[in-house]
Chains A and B, each alone.
Chain A
Amino acid sequence: MLRLSIQARQALARLTLPVLIVVSFGVMLLGKADTLIAERARTALGDGLAPIYAALAAPLGRIHATITETAALWDMREENARLRDENERLRRWQTIALALDAENQRLKASLRWIPDPDASFVTARVVADAGGVYAKAVLLSVGPNHGIHKGEIAVDERGLIGRITEVGSRTARVLLITDLNSRIPVIMETSRAHAILVGTNGARPRLQYWPEGIVPQEGERIVTSAEANAFPANLPIGTVHYTASGAPEVEPAAMLQKLEIVRIFDYGLNGVTAPEPPSRPSPGRH
């Protein structure tokens, strides 16, 4: 250790804080100049922390299950009646859906329809909320030889949740459709009009840029569009809902607030994916 006089040492101690504050501005500039550094540091950190969170998930899940079970026991009677009603309604819909499906197959057969290629998928557990106050994302725990790539599509049991934006050796980050940076080409199901779904960091992303003369209808279903080759066509996203100020938003079908298990589909699309950084060797697909 350097031998300094007491005065010099006190002056140094007093200087540390201002100097570090200046350095923090330097970090801001560095983060602005090279966004890859922060991204890589985050991926490495996520890889390191994922096992801890995965280990924590089991006891936390048990606590949650106990709480929800107690709540469910409380209003079981009402729930039962509601479910019986719903079951009856769904059975009616099921017969309609089966009839439509059969008709669809017949029509496709007579049209010599080229079937969409089958997509391969992997299933992964959500281990942490990888967003922040100003970002909406989740961290998935995936095995060491996962073969997941940037730009693949994440779906829960109800609908689209987002796309893979960062892939580490054990984790993958999914940018949710509600994130401020999310832009998704969509189709309104009844009018077949194209639009863009824009994330706002709020619970419901906003619908923008639909063609003139068409108005999104309240309750209309929104599905992905195959335009720009980033998504497959017709993945369910949600339904249109108007805000009090009259702006159309989309209520996501997926349960974005409590994601547990997520399926990641590889449709072989790479329309608007950013290229992988060249210096990082990406694990081979096969």
Chain B
Amino acid sequence: MAVIDRRPGIRPRASLGRRLDVIARVGFPACMTVLLMLLTQAPLEIPEQAALLPAVSLCCVWFWSLFRPDNLPPPVVFLIGLFMDLLGYLPPGVGIFTLLAVQALALAMRRSLARRGFIWVWGVFAGVAVAAALVIWLLTMLLTFRVLLPYPAVFIAALSIAIFPILAVPFAAAHRSVADPDQA
């Protein structure tokens, strides 16, 4: 894609190595998300492992939509959602819708949340995770015409809230270093 750099300032010439570096940094959020999603499906033999996939996807989309929305654009989130539906055996479309909605919320709250501390980001994410788990549960029931136990939805929400800090700390470090295209 031919991206024309319109930012002011003097920069080194765009050599091949530099361009590759920028691509790697821009692609970091999406690649990390997909890699983590794949890892949740590995035979780890953790009880209730299935809930890890939606939890990890929610955390990743929330974090990167808040802090690097340009590097995780909606079409990429769409593909990540489709991947989640296929890997997690959800009715197709459920994960796509949920993750896009999470991104929409993140983009809407971005300006006010980015200025506040981590506790705020985490606290709001708790609400978002509960809502997202509820949406997945309701849509799955609607699309399969079945009454499902609410317990897995509660577990997804709790797990998402619990693992968010574990993911957010390395993500925040990456956000300032390897995922920053300006440092290329």
Q: Total number of A-B contacts with CB less than 8 angstroms?
A: 123
- Would you list which residues of chain B between 137 and 184 have a CB under 8 Å from chain A? 139-140, 143-144, 146, 148-149, 152-153, 155-156
A273 at the interface (CB under 8 A from B): no
**Are B50's CB and A129's CB within 8 A?**
yes
**In the complex, what distance in Å separates the CA atom of A133 from the CA atom of B136?**
10
B contact residues around A60 at 8 Å (CB) = 42-45
**B160 shortest CB reach to chain A, Å:** 12
Give the contacting residue for A53; candidates B43, B88, B89, B153; CB below 8 A. Answer: B43
A31 at the interface (CB under 8 A from B): yes
- Secondary structure of the A contact surface, majority rule: helix
- CA distance in complex: A200, B88 (Å): 18
Contact at B143–A16, with CB atoms within 8 Å?
no
Bound complex: CA of A57 vs CA of B81, how far in Å? 26
Q: 6 A-B contacts, Cβ less than 8 Å apart?
A: A28-B93, A28-B94, A28-B143, A49-B38, A126-B43, A202-B149
Point out the residue from B49, B90, B104 that lies within 8 Å of A134, measured CB to CB: B90
Total interface residues in chain A, CB < 8 Å: 45
B83–chain A nearest beta-carbon distance, Å: 8
Closest chain-A Cβ to B150's Cβ sits at a distance in Å of 11
Residues of chain B within 8 A of A23, CB atoms compared: 78, 96
Which residues of A, 193-239, contact B by the 8 Å Cβ criterion? 200-202
Structural contact, A130 and B104, CB atoms closer than 8 A: no
The yes or no answer to A131 lying at the interface (CB within 8 A) is yes
| Interface residue A56 (Cβ < 8 Å from any Cβ of B) | yes
